[in-house]
Amino acid sequence: MYKTVKVYPVILTPTEMGYVVTVPDLDINTQGKDIAEAIYMARDVIGLWGITEQDDGRKITEPSKTEPAHEANELVSWVDIDFDKYRKANDMTTMRINVSVPKYLKVLGDEAGVNFSQVLQEGLKKRLNL
């Protein structure tokens, strides 16, 4: 699994509707109605961007270590993101897999109304201590 925690600088630009958030290192933007929501949305957009990069086989861009250039009315903040935790919390993409079970278990499960996918997910979470 990925072991990637990073801290990115972000620029918050005030607008009539709240704040536009720019992540200069990643060339992505988001927005929030207040500072707290803007930071929350920044973490979310960075997390989504990062796990997409990982899924596509690309390396996650390293964050700058210095404050980005910004205007006098703009705020600079630093947003931390744990890509492992973000993936666990947000990547609910399902994948179809082929699983073999003995016929008698399939028949009994069907008769009992068992959701085989749910049982498999629960068993995997228990086995993996998730």
Could you read off the pLDDT of 2-59 as tens digits, one per residue? 467 899 999 999 999 999 999 999 999 999 999 999 999 999 999 999 999 998 999 9
Find all residues with CB under 8 Å of 63, minimum gap 6, and list them. Answer: 6, 7, 8, 9, 25
Considering the chain, tell me which residue range(s) the CATH 3.30.160.250 domain(s) occupy.
5-90
pTM for this model (two decimals): 0.72
pLDDT digits 0-9 by tens, 97-112 = 888 999 999 999 999 9
pLDDT band at 93 (very low <50, low <70, confident <90, very high): confident
Please tell me the predicted confidence (pLDDT) of residue 90: 85
Give the whole-angstrom CA distance, residue 115 versus residue 86.
27
Note the CATH architecture for domain 5-90.
2-Layer Sandwich (3.30)
Bridge partner residues of 77 (DSSP): 10
pLDDT band at 1 (very low <50, low <70, confident <90, very high): very low
Strand ranges of the sheet holding 28-32, from the earlier edge strand across to the other edge: 28-32, 18-23, 5-15, 75-82
Q: Under a CB-based contact definition with an 8 Å cutoff, are residues 16 and 34 in contact?
A: no
